[in-house]
Structures are given as C-alpha cells and as structure tokens.
Structure 1
Amino acid sequence: MRRAVLATRTAVIVLSVVVLAVTGYAWAQLQGLNRSGALSGEQTSLDGDMNILLMGLDSRLDEQGNPLPKSMYAALHAGDQDNGGYNSNVLMLLHVPADGSQATSISIPRDDYVKFPGCPDEQCSGKIKQAYGLAFDQEHKKLVTQGITDRADLEQRSRDAGRKMEIDTVRQFLDGVPVDHFVEVTLASFFQVAQVVQPIKVCVKQPTQDSYSGANFRKGAQQINAKQAVAFVRQRRDNVHPSLNFTDLDRERRQQAFISSLSHQLNQSGTMTNPSKLQGLIDVAKQNIAIDSGLDLANLASQATNLSSGKIKFVTLPIDHFGKAPNGDAVNFVDKDKIQAMTKELLSPKQPEPPAPQQKQQAPAPKPSVDVVNANGRTGLAATVGQALSTKGYQRGEATNASSNRSSTVVEYPSGQSDAAKQLADTLGGAATKQDASVPAGQLRAVLGTAFQLPNSLQADDGAPSKSESNSSGGSAADSADSLSGGGVPCVK
C-alpha cells in the first residue's frame, strides 16, 4: 500500500507538468481529456492569474473506475484493483501569474491535520488528504440508496463530490484562496510517463540505498530508467546509511526535484518535437487525467512555455510538529496563521522597494572567456557548463569534446592569470589549476573530468535558493518556506 501511495503522489506532479508542457505544443490534441463539472460557478482569481490544484489519488483504478492492466500492477508492486482508496495523497497548488513571471507550486503535506467543511461521512477533522475519500464515500452511499446502479455514473458523480470537498478543504485551510481549476490523476500515470521520457537525469548528494523501494543511487548526477524513477520518488528510508534520516518531507523534495529535472529534459532534449514521444505523453494524459470543464487549454498554452522551461519555484508548507489525532492517527500539526500568511504572500508577493540612488562606481573588469572541454563522457556537458558560467559573468568560449576521458577536472591558464584560474576553479566546485602556454592570453580553459558534478550554485540561475533554506531572523513568512527552484537538475538527499 505504501508503494502505491508514493507512486501516486508523484504521478500527479509529473502528469501535471506534462499536461502543462504539452499544451504549449499540441493542446488541440488534448481535447479528449476527461472533464468534470465539480468547479462550475466557483470563485476565480483576479487580474488573469490562475490557481490550479493538482490532486493525485491513492487508487488502483483508472479515471473511469476500471482496473489497470495486470502488467501495470506487476510493475508498480502496488496490489491490484481491490487495494487502495480515494485519498488525495498529492496536493499542490500551482499559481500561474498572468504576466508570465515565475510560477509557484505550493506543496501541502498530505497528513496536515485540518477541519473538513460540512463534516463528510460525519467526520469533521482529519488528514487533509482524506477529504476526497470521505465525500466520495458519502455521495456513493447516497446515490446507491437513490437507486443509481450504473457503475460509470456512480463513479463519476462520487468523484465529483470528492473533488469538490477536497478543493473546499484546501480553500478553507489556506484562508479562502481561489482555486480556478484542477488536474487529477490516478496511480498508473507516473510509470507510463517515465517509460515515454526515459532516461531521466537526477542528482543525489550522497550515495543511498533502500531495499524496500529498490533505490540504489550513487552520489551525483545520473541517468535513470522508468523503474529506477519509481524508486527515486518512492524512497522514504535508507537501510544502508540510516544517518540520512529520511522523512516524508524529503520525499516531497525528491518529487519536486524530479519535476524540475523532467521539465528541464522536456525543454532541452527535443522530446516535445519527437512525434512518437509527444503522442505517447498525450495518450497517457487522456487515459489517466481529469480536469475541470472550465480549463481553457488554448489559454493555458500561452502560459505553458514558462513552466516547461523551468520558470517555476517549488515551496513546501511547513509543519510545526508531529503528533496524534484524537482517533490515534499520526498527523502533522501546523501553525495555520503562519501558513495562511505565507500562502498569501507567495500568491501576491510584495514588489521590492526601488534601490536608493548610489554614486556611480567604476564597473568591475569583465571576466575572461572560458573554453570548456568535455573529458567527462556525458553528452552535452561542455555546452551546459559554458551556459551556466555565462550566468556568472564569464564570456562563453568554445565547447568541445576531448579525444579521451580523464578523471580530474583542471582549469588551465596562461601566464599572469593564476588568480582568475583559482576563482574559476572555485566556481566549478573545486578543481586543480595548471599553467599552460597553449591557452591564449586573457582566456581560461576548463577541462571537465569524469568526477565532475555541476555545483548547485551553477544549477539555479534565477537567484532563488536551490535547496531548503530557512529564515529564522527577520524576513517575511514566505521567506521561511521550504523552497526549490526549477530550471535544472537539483541535487537532493
């Protein structure tokens, strides 16, 4: 059951990114998506901004309530159609500004203890993920009592009740935040998308291994297949390195990092211009996604490019402490006022004050041009590093491949450039330096060895933090949010 939960949580994230990315290229082909009227006539955001609630169900059925293929159950190790339920094990509020600026995805931990509007199934409080399943069950029993017997009708009307209750619960929890649209997916989606897109690049900070999930990753960046991708996002412990002390929040960061990696790959690798892969993504979306009837895919297409190119910030709402609910369930207790203030600021950030006039200062000397030589063996690494260095003020030189690989990374420099070489070596995360008469005056040459890993400081080029940061003294509520920036391949636990 745990395995299914974790796969489901990631399915909604990945599929939502895929839908948002695909709409920018082939939105017309997505007209066959399942539509729901659960949001009809609801309040919407102002000024053209868009809030989309992403929900992932702990269900071993497809969007029509039908069993998955036996091969899918075998691949996921998640039981069969008799297992699972309708908890929303993934809840993410995606805020898309109308002006095309950076989008924000707010993850709501699934076990946050909240109140349910209307007390569905006579339960007034519980884990936020339970709102969907309680309302589904209540509506399903009511419809059966009314004599409704058609299985498809029962399924969709019960799901609509669950969708509405989950949305209302999130709204209430976040102090009335508008929810304009929703995207819902089921368990099968993640593995199917990973099969279409594989291999996928991820990065971990330490070697880690877990026999429960099948995770077995070395330190650094690496290419993984669909089966390994499931293990990457499911991992919740390390039985070889217990000091890593994995938690549920670490899984959320894994999921966010995977989204960033996937969206980066969709944008960089030509997936969206590959007819067979693009059709494969569209087919998965049609099979295992439901959206509200008011979501205009043509309008979404105009904003999707920013999302698929990495202009998105991932934030996880904080937990105050862990504890037990009155019924004995393990839950997350939260500071509701802090969360509501944080959400308000994330969705409507204050504009920074203009800087005070300063005396004109002499511009710093430009940084040298850097030729990057790939002696690592990973395709495209020289171009990636050259682009990353250009965001730090270096001039882009040539990006070439060495005739053979070497183990260590070296910055080569001409006479008189030792200080500049040392600075570049530090920027690259630590490298040796070596004077070389073949390097032209005023230039540097970075030779990337097989041990080279792109530092976090070069992966996040928008100024946002690339890993969890907290602000314990001063700053706004949103500053203390656990955040991760999209646009690359972040390294996580």
Structure 2
Amino acid sequence: MNEDFDLPEADGAIRRRPRRRRRTALIALLVVLCLIAVVGIVVGRYLYSLDNAYQKRTVVSLDDDNSGLSGSGTNILLLGSDKRNPQDAAAEKVSGQRSDTIMLVHIPADGGEAYIVSFPRDIYIDIPGHGKDRINSALAYGGLPLAVTTVENYTKTPIDHVALIDFDGIQGLVDSLGGVDVNIPKSFERDGSTFTQGTQHLDGKEALVFARERKSFADGDFQRNRDQQQLLKAIVVKMISRDTLTSPGKLKDAVENISPYLTTDDGLDSGTIVKLGLANRGLRGSDMHFLAAPHGDPYTTSGGASVVAGDEKGMEALRTALKDDTMEEYAAKAG
C-alpha cells in the first residue's frame, strides 16, 4: 500500500522553541518528501552531490521564543500551497499563497513512528490579528510565521519544525522515482486521467492531478485530504525501497527535482538528515498513522463564505494527546 503529499515556500522568521530530539525530524522530512531516506541512508561517497542538490531549497530561520506551550514528543507542521493567481490574490489583498494541505506530524518522544493529522483547509478558526477565517488563509495573510502561530494556538501545541512544498515539486519527484503505486480510495476522472479504486501506478502528472482534485467528490476537501495521505505514503514506501536506496542516480534525481520547491527551517540541514537517516533505517510505511483533525459540518457564514465548523470537544481530546504524548491511544480510539 502506497501514498503522497505536497507544500510551498514563504519567508520571514518563525519562533522556535528549544529543539527536542533532532532524530525525530527525520520522520518529519520523510513525511514531507522523503529526503530523509534520500540524504540520510545513502553511503558517504554520494553525500557531496546530494548535499549540493538539497541546498537549492529555501531556508527559514526560527527564533527562540517560549510561548508558554508545552508537550512531549516533536511536532512538525507540513504545508502545501496553491500558489494563487496574482490577480486574484491582489483583489483579495493576500500574498498569493494559501495552504491547501495542512498536516501536523507528531513523533513520540521514543521515536520510531509518526502520527500525521490532516486539517480541512476551510475549517473556520481564529487567525491572530485577522479575526475568524479559514485556517488556510493564515499563510496568505502572514506567511510561515502566522501559519505556525495559528496552528499552535488552535492545537495548543508547540511546533518545532516547519516544511512547505509547492505542488509542482511532486510531479518531478514522482517521475524521478519511476512513478508510485497508490491506493486509490474512490474512482474518478479528471484532466484526461482515469483513477480507479484500488492500487494504481501513477506517473508525476497523474500524481499531481490526483493530489489536487476535490470537485469530483461529494465531500470535496475531506476526500482530497485522504487522497493526499495515500499519495504521501506511496512516495515514502517507494523512497525507502531497496530499488531506490541502492540507486545513487535515482536518489540524486529525486533530491534535485524536489529541493527547489521546498522550504524548511534551518535545523533540517543535510548533516542533520544524514544522522537521522542512519539512526532510523528501520522506518517503514506501516509506521505512519494518518488521522483527520476533529471538525464539524460545512456551513455558510453570515458574510456568505463556505467554511467548515470546528469541534471543540474533539479538539480537546487531540490537544491532550499531543501534550501528553499519548497519540497511540488517541489514534486507536479515533479508528
């Protein structure tokens, strides 16, 4: 069973808390684009060329700042941007980017597994300094700093690292891997491509269409979130397969293709990833657990905006699990 995912770029400094076990960032990056396995598990003589390719990413500095939030384990925010049309962005007085993909990755203090929580892009919550709006508007209003603050406030959880990727980077990554085998949850057709329920081999172009589509489904963005989780897992499984890890050329191509579309905090440098990769060579797709953030039903605001209601009772349970590092129990109850 296989799967994938996506993200953009942004600028500005983000608040950073004292770093926890840096090895956990490995799983985060694996979840983002699998560069972990790419750069980390490769033998030393290939590191130089891979490092050069990885440097093409955009790096964001995170300032040390204790917001009063606490919790065990490590949390990484993963975002994917739609890179909105400049004219539309100007008309709405936003920066041109909204995070269509919002995932919070929690790695327990003992490492070894990852819990990936997807948030509906239209969930209606407080955006600091802007009142209530869709959660995906935070990136547009204030870049990565505001996106991080917004998610921290909503989950009451400190975010240790952040990564963003542009959707277009997924196409090059998947093609460099020779395509990926994705478990298609629901059949649909889009842009000349047919996606049939069950396992299907997708090339880069098809993977991009699959990850973006929501209008074909009755529950729209909710199904897209599930599809993106499937694509993410497919990429991870392919990246850590023997076929890929024993092919220096394929690994280098993967890093080369994805890095220009990637933004990370400066703590996820190639040296750190190498150490993390070597320490986590046993990680497999089955160690990643995908969940949906608690939410209510879609509704229309008094201003005519289509949004998704929050679920405070459900969020309190998630907040407690994140703080107490009990995501395994939470995931079992959530199914």
RMSD over aligned Cα atoms: 3.2
Name the residue aligned to 1:163.
Answer: 144
CA contact (8 A) 1:54 1:93 kept: yes
Cα distance per residue 1:320-351 (max 9 Å; x no partner): 11112343211111112421322431563449
TM-score, normalised to structure 2's length? 0.76
Matches within 5 A, 1:30-69: 30-37=54-61, 39-43=62-66, 49-59=73-83
Say if 2:19 is the partner of 1:19: no
Q: Is the 8 A contact 1:40 1:293 kept in 2?
A: no
For 1:127, the equivalent position in structure 2 comes to 134
Residue type at the aligned position of 1:338: G
1:218 offset after TM fit, Å?
3.2
Q: Distance in 1 between matches of 2:102 and 2:230?
A: 16
Q: What residue number does 1:257 align with?
A: 230
| CA shift for structure 1 position 127 | 0.4
How far apart are residue 81 of structure 1 and its match? Answer: 6.7
Q: 2:198 aligns with which of 220, 230, 241?
A: 220
Output one character per residue of 1:438-492: Cα deviation in whole Å (capped at 9) or x when no partner: xxxxxxxxxxxxxxxxxxxxxxxxxx9xxxxxxxxxxx765453x6xxxxxxxxx
Are 2:158 and 1:178 aligned?
yes
Paired amino acid for 1:109: P
Distance 1:269 1:327 in 2: 53
Letter in structure 2 aligned against 1:11? D
User: Partner letter of residue 342 of structure 1?
Assistant: L
Give the conservation status (yes or no) of the 8 Å contact 1:193–1:284.
yes
Corresponding residue for residue 188 of structure 2: 209
After superposition, the Cα gap between the structure-2 partners of 1:221 and 1:478, relative to the gap in structure 1 and judged at 3 Å, is closer
- 2:98: which partner in 1? 87
Amino acid in the other structure paired with 2:34 = V
User: By how many angstroms is 1:219 displaced?
Assistant: 4.0
**Corresponding residue for residue 10 of structure 2:** none
Secondary structure of the corresponding residue to residue 98 of structure 2: strand
Please report how far the alpha carbon of residue 308 of structure 1 lies from its aligned counterpart in structure 2 after TM superposition. Answer: 5.2
Contact 2:31-2:236 at 8 Å conserved across structures: no
User: What is the CA-CA distance between 1:309 and the residue it aligns to?
Assistant: 4.5
The CA distance in 2 between the partners of 1:214 and 1:236, in whole Å, is 16
Deviation at 1:185, TM superposition (A): 1.6
SS at match of 1:53: strand
Unmatched 5+ residue regions in structure 2?
8-28, 90-95
Aligned equivalent of 1:275, options 226, 235, 248: 248
Within 5 Å, give how 1:406-421 maps onto structure 2: none
- What is the percentage of aligned positions where both structures have the same residue? 24
Tell me the CA shift for residue 302 of structure 1.
4.9
Amino acid at match of 2:127: F
Q: Which residue is equivalent to 1:159?
A: none
Which of structures 1 and 2 has the larger relative contact order (alpha carbons within 8 angstroms, sep 6+)?
A: 2
Corresponding residue of 1:115: 126
> Is 1:196 equivalent to 2:176 in the alignment?
yes
Cα deviation, 1:272-311, whole Å, max 9, x if unaligned, reads 2212211112112331111112335245435554555541
**Could you tell me which amino acid in structure 2 is paired with residue 179 of structure 1?**
I
- Which stretches in structure 1 are left out of the alignment for 5+ residues? 1-8, 61-79, 136-161, 239-243, 352-463, 465-475, 484-493
Q: What displacement does 1:254 show?
A: 0.9
Q: For residues 207-248 of structure 1, what are the alpha-carbon distances to aligned partners after superposition, in whole Å with 9 as ceiling and x for unaligned?
A: x232x444413343222222222232233244xxxxx73531
| Contact 1:343–1:478 (8 Å) recurs in 2 | no
Cα distance in 2 for residues equivalent to 1:303 and 1:96? 15
The structure with the larger Rg is 1
Residues 350 and 189 of structure 1: CA distance in aligned 2, closer, same or farther (over 3 Å)? closer
Counterpart CA distance in 2 for 1:49 and 1:195 is 34
2:207 alignment partner in structure 1: 229
